Structure 1
Amino acid sequence: MDKKNLDESGVPSVIRVGSRSSELAMIQTRTIISALSALYPTINFEVITMKTIGDKILDKALPKIGQTNLFTKELEIALAANQIDMITHSLKDLPTTLPPNMQISVIYKRDNPTDALVLHPKHKGLRIDTLPKGSIIGTSSLRRIAFLKRNYPDLIFQDIRGNLNTRLRKLDEGDGDITYDAIVLATAGLIRMGWQSRLSHELDTTVCMYAVGQGALAVETRSDDDVINKLLSPLNDPDTVVCCTAERALLHSLGGGCSVPVGTCSSIDPDNHTLCIDGAVLSLDGKDIVKDIVTFVLPSSYRELGFSELSGIVTKVGYDLAEKLHEQGAGPVLAKAKEYIEAV
């Protein structure tokens, strides 16, 4: 943050917010800005949008593009160059290893983290377990494909790319020679877009565990920007910070990303402030699965702790879960998945 933009109390007059340009990304960015504006009504927030690699390359499945920062790279370049002051993200799009001098400063209160089935209108009233044999399900997520193949082997899974608007259009109108019977999307995204009427039903986590960080928003900043980082601190939601930090530590320790099928599910028992986190690694066809669970009793005062303190406490929980999965054979399953992806 340029010190010239600070008023006498040390508050900036303008904060430049980087965002992807899609409708959903802008809705999420406005959510963060609205929360900040309520705290700092004198600050003017300037939104700077851009398209990322993942937004531009739409003719390949995400794992085949071969990068982990598909939806963040261009924004992070702008952040490093001091062209913007902060970036709003869907946390699940943010790699577990960030560029030098960058950090997550906010993990905002999580919305529904589950996945949802969106049916073609001709299948109204059906569920994923009642769809006809051979129905075509659109999704680009290897995690979703692996879990759903495991539970519904008679369904066919077809890659589908584009923002939410594009994917819904492809579902309703078809995509060239492909006719989709349903698509799978994040429940939170559908709700943020106001498309609850298209949500056929949520997928239970016993059927499809969700992605690390799914349903949560995050803000990325420069590590040395003390002014911005201090202003953002009140936006952190302690429960979401705990769950998502543990999930990200799990993924980081496994060496996973969008290129391998890793699912998770986490919660905090409000009565005894115990964190419970499940993790699973699957083969691409869903036939092999390694899963386990870890619990950890949080300090009774954990909601009063800052972001760094909370992260320091629960990062080891994610690492411990990853170690348990490795002990059960997660390594070979992950390696086989990565070898296949690199070969195609």
Structure 2
Amino acid sequence: MAKHPLASLRESIGASHPSYARLLADTHEKLGYGHMAARREKVSRWESGRTVPELTAQLAIAHLHRVPAREVTRLGWPAWVESATEDTTGLLALPWTRAGATDALHEGSRLGSGAAPRRLALTGPFARTFVEQWRATVADGGSVPARKERPPVLPASPPSSPPTGAGSGRHAGTDSLNWARARVESLETMAGTVGPDILYPAARSDLSLLATVLSAADDRASDTELLSLAARTASLCAGLTIGLGDSVTAERYYLVAARTAAVAGQRELSAACLRGVAYSHLLKGESSEVVLLVDTALSVVSTRPSLSTSGKFPTLPFLPVEALVERPQYGWPKGGERYA
């Protein structure tokens, strides 16, 4: 039997039936709809499909998950719940493990190939749950061992295509790592001079390939390196989509990058990507979660992030923020907010 979308929505914030019932009852009362009994049986009946919540209960659920009230009346039950889950639970419900990070990368590689997400994913309870899970993963140092050896130094000119066998076998060797690192560094360098409309398709393609390599390889010694490169690529995709004016898709990429870097034990990179999530929220005009995200990111880094030369927002590693401000000919954003 297929899971009800309300169950997916509830589980994505880590709430049990009793805790979700209490949360909804509190929200219902705060919204001025009056008292609602906080019974777990009520939530269970909704999720079983036996009963439909009253309109005020639906509005409380929608408010809790930051779904506009107009969507509740426009789509009806349970279509509006399905709409709320399609953009969020698939990515946010993944485990903070190598497998979960790889699945997140596959989710990220599909961004840009279909309809763009319609709303920010990390809002309300989703944000608090994600932050708690992120803190725990970063505190544990990730879920994969660090590499004991670094690959040889890269050649000056990176190859334009993966080496023979990259992603086709069960071993991600030095050649694959060298190729992947060269590609990431090349794209990062070009991001300062080439428009996002040109670079974004290449970055998306590389992200898809890295996800495939990680899925195929059983060489755990290369995991940290591959995951770090994939996180950098996802972060680059985020910056490029911001340049293309799509901060909602950028948020998804930053979420993928933050998770992947955290699992790899790259806390500085992961924290930078978490700040990227906050920045994408600011660009969307949604500031509710920004302080939580930025404070969480700053709590684990050794030094506070520097500001760009414009003094408007922090420089993220692997993302030329100055270029995002000063290249209006490509439609890149002209301003932002200072993180204090």
Asked if TM exceeds 0.5, the reply is no
Point out the structure with the larger strand share.
1
TM-score scaled by length of structure 2: 0.30
- Going by fraction, where is helix more abundant, 1 or 2? 2
- Per chain length, whose mean CA-contact separation is higher, i.e. which structure has more relative contact order (CA < 8 Å, sep 6+)? 1
